Structure 1
Amino acid sequence: MTAFPPRFFVTGEEVDRMMVAFYAAIRRHPVLGPVFTAHIGETDAAWDAHIEKIGRFWKNAILREGGYSGSPMMVHRAATDVLPEHFPLWLGLFDETADRLLRPEAAAAWSALAHRLGGAFRMGVEEARRPADAAPRLV
Structure 2
Amino acid sequence: MNENPTGKGTAVVGGGLLPEALDERMIREVVHGFYSEIRKDDLLGPIFNAAIEPEAWPRHLGKMCDFWSSTLLRSGRYEGRPLPPHLAIAGLGEEHFRRWLTLFQSTVGRVCPADVAALFMERALRIAHSFRLAIAFNRGEDTVGVKPILEQSL
TM norm structure 2: 0.78
Whose relative contact order is higher, 1 or 2, with alpha carbons under 8 Å and at least 6 apart? 1
- The structure-2 alpha-carbon separation of the partners of 1:4 and 1:103, relative to structure 1 and needing over 3 Å to count, comes to closer
Is there any run of 5+ residues in structure 2 with no aligned partner, and where? Answer: 3-8, 146-154
Which stretch has the larger CA shift, 45-54 or 95-104? 45-54
* Partner residue, 1:24: 36
Alignment of 1:1-139 (within 5 A): 5=11, 7=13, 8-9=18-19, 10-41=22-53, 43=54, 45-130=55-140, 136-139=142-145
One-letter amino acid of the counterpart of residue 31, structure 2: M
**Superposition deviation, residue 75 in structure 1:** 2.1
One-letter amino acid of the counterpart of residue 5, structure 1: A
- The structure-2 alpha-carbon separation of the partners of 1:81 and 1:47, relative to structure 1 and needing over 3 Å to count, comes to farther
TM norm structure 1: 0.86
Give the strand-richer structure, 1 or 2: 2
**Superposition deviation, residue 6 in structure 1:** 5.1
Give the helix-richer structure, 1 or 2: 1
- Percent identity reads 31
Contact 1:77 1:128 in 2 (8 A): yes
- The structure-2 alpha-carbon separation of the partners of 1:138 and 1:29, relative to structure 1 and needing over 3 Å to count, comes to same
TM superposition outliers: structure 1 runs of 4+ over 4 Å: 1-4
Once residues 69 and 125 of structure 1 are traced to their aligned partners in structure 2, the CA distance between those partners, rounded to angstroms, is: 21
Is there any run of 5+ residues in structure 1 with no aligned partner, and where? Answer: none
Contact 1:77 1:125 in 2 (8 A): yes
